[in-house]
Homo-oligomer: A and B are copies of this chain.
Amino acid sequence: MSDSLKLALLGCGTVGGAVLRLLSEQSDDLAARIGRRVEVAGVAVRRPDRHPEVPAELLTTDAEGLVTRPDVDLVVEVIGGIEPARTLILAAIGAGKSVVSANKTLLAEDGVALHAAAAEAGVDLYYEAAVAGAIPLLRPLRESLAGDQLRRVVGIVNGTTNYILSRMAETGAGFGEALAEATEAGYAEADPTADVDGFDAAAKAAILASLAFHSPVTAGDVHREGISAVSATDVARAAEIGCTVKLLAICERVTGADGADDAVAVRVHPAMIPTTHPLAAVGGAFNAVFVEAEAAGELMFYGQGAGGQPTASAVLGDLVAVARNRLAGAAGPGTTGYAGLTVRPMADTPTRYHVSLDVADLPGVLATVAQEFAAHGVSIATVRQDGHGDAATLVIVTHRAPDSALAATVTRLREMSAVRGVTSVLRVEGL
């Protein structure tokens, strides 16, 4: 083996640039921690002329040539998206290189195949940066809690939507106004779809569920609802019952169709959570993940979920690990999909709903409404009725019931003549 470990960097945007900067600034520390120097062998980019800060002799547009170069030991992929990242990572693995990636989209879609390729080649595939930025989360799930049984993982894993929801709660603004503010402040991208519609959080949920439950879960398995339908009324109603609205990624063990505890439910949707819940205090662009394990009990991990520097910190942590493993001649722990738990459809997943209704203030309306819940097998936990003039507001929070039963109840309520309007429907968690 040569005197230094040679690193190929794929992509040089915000994260890639931060990785290069930290590699250079912390060169001596990294060498001491790894036991050998790490040297950048090349940086693959699409437009070399756009990277004047990188020495020209390192820049290349031939990414595949770079990752298969015989002198390259380690590959860091920070391009993002499915292609060409997948082809390049598979080429690197095939050539015996260990890979560090920050690519949630790819890992959530094709993690099983990528892990299989890495295991086959005896190399590492690490991706701590793919979920919750700098927060050490995947390593704790994969290693620290490897001797425990996880029950639930509930996280705020998308900073953009958390910023928007935080602003809606603080200012009373509607979704559109808060999104415009987030865009202005640089917290939302020009096309905010991936964040706002929950695609980003769903990819992260799939990765978390796969690791937590040792079962293959892809982004397509995740029930996904974004926040664009969350209204100022929803946020106000949440406050009235001591809650706040968050976009949650929820991964949990649930009973399967036969009643055995053999399935998982994985979903991303806005939900009301009590302001006393540890996740409620997570404001702005921060991320936090709450974990419930059989023996360890409740744990929470909190920190910055995005940004060049925090993401680069996670990438470099992985880089030190795979470099050490390489020098030790062994790969680190991969993933184990041994449990093979099935993903329960959202319709069958037990959830709780908050429903606010405008109704005619007539005797018997509450009874009629309550009867509709009962007809769908949904038990009501609390109900509050506020009369005003000839109208009244009903605020109902249910117990847990299959999501399809709750949805069907709401559909029926919208059709009832006594109901003038369903003004807010949101799931409730952690009450």
Which residues of A255-308 have CB atoms within 8 Å of chain B's CB atoms?
278, 281, 293-304, 307
In the assembled complex, the CB of A143 is this many whole angstroms from the nearest CB of chain B, namely 6
Q: Is A136 an interface residue (CB 8 A)?
A: yes
> Contact size class for A?
35 or more
Q: Is A29 an interface residue (CB 8 A)?
A: yes
What 10 pairs between A and B have smallest CB-CB spacing? A147-B316, A136-B144, A136-B140, A134-B296, A330-B330, A295-B313, A299-B303, A146-B320, A296-B313, A328-B330
Segment from A217-225, A332-340, A391-399 that makes contact with B: A332-340
Q: Is A312 an interface residue (CB 8 A)?
A: yes
Return the chain B residue nearest A278 by Cβ.
B302
CA distance A163 to B180 in the complex (A): 45
Which B residues touch A185, using CB under 8 A?
none
Contact B147 A139 (CB under 8 A): no
Which B residues touch A22, using CB under 8 A?
147-148, 295
CA distance A69 to B200 in the complex (A): 52
Which B residues touch A135, using CB under 8 A?
299
Q: Is A329 an interface residue (CB 8 A)?
A: yes
Which B residues touch A149, using CB under 8 A?
26, 29
Which B residues touch A312, using CB under 8 A?
147, 295
Contact with B along A314-333 (1 / 0, CB 8 A): 11111111001100111101
Partner of A303 from the list B128, B300, B304, B336 (CB cut-off 8 Å) is: B300
Which B residues touch A1, using CB under 8 A?
none
CA distance A300 to B288 in the complex (A): 9
Contact B321 A143 (CB under 8 A): yes
25 contacts between A and B (CB under 8 A): A18-B295, A26-B149, A32-B338, A134-B293, A134-B295, A136-B299, A139-B139, A139-B140, A143-B321, A146-B320, A147-B313, A147-B315, A147-B317, A281-B281, A295-B309, A295-B310, A295-B313, A296-B304, A296-B313, A297-B303, A297-B310, A299-B302, A299-B303, A302-B302, A324-B333
Which B residues touch A414, using CB under 8 A?
none
Which B residues touch A29, using CB under 8 A?
149, 214, 339
* Most B Cβ at <10 Å: residue of A296, A321, A325: A296
Which B residues touch A330, using CB under 8 A?
325, 328-330
Contact with B along A128-164 (1 / 0, CB 8 A): 1000001110011001111111000000000000000
Q: Is A30 an interface residue (CB 8 A)?
A: yes
In the assembled complex, the CB of A357 is this many whole angstroms from the nearest CB of chain B, namely 35
Binding site for B on A (CB under 8 A): 18, 22, 26, 29-30, 32-33, 128, 134-136, 139-140, 143-149, 214, 278, 281, 293-304, 307, 309-310, 312-321, 324-325, 328-331, 333, 336, 338-339
Known: A145-B313, A147-B315, A317-B143. A296 touches B300 (CB 8 A): no
Which B residues touch A144, using CB under 8 A?
128, 136, 139-140, 314, 317
CA distance A314 to B32 in the complex (A): 28
Contact A313 B148 (CB under 8 A): yes
Contact A304 B313 (CB under 8 A): no
Return the chain B residue nearest A140 by Cβ.
B136
In the assembled complex, the CB of A32 is this many whole angstroms from the nearest CB of chain B, namely 4
Starting from the known contacts A139-B143, A144-B317, 11 additional A-B residue pairs (CB-CB under 8 Å) come to A29-B339, A134-B295, A136-B143, A139-B140, A147-B312, A295-B313, A296-B303, A297-B304, A297-B310, A298-B303, A301-B302
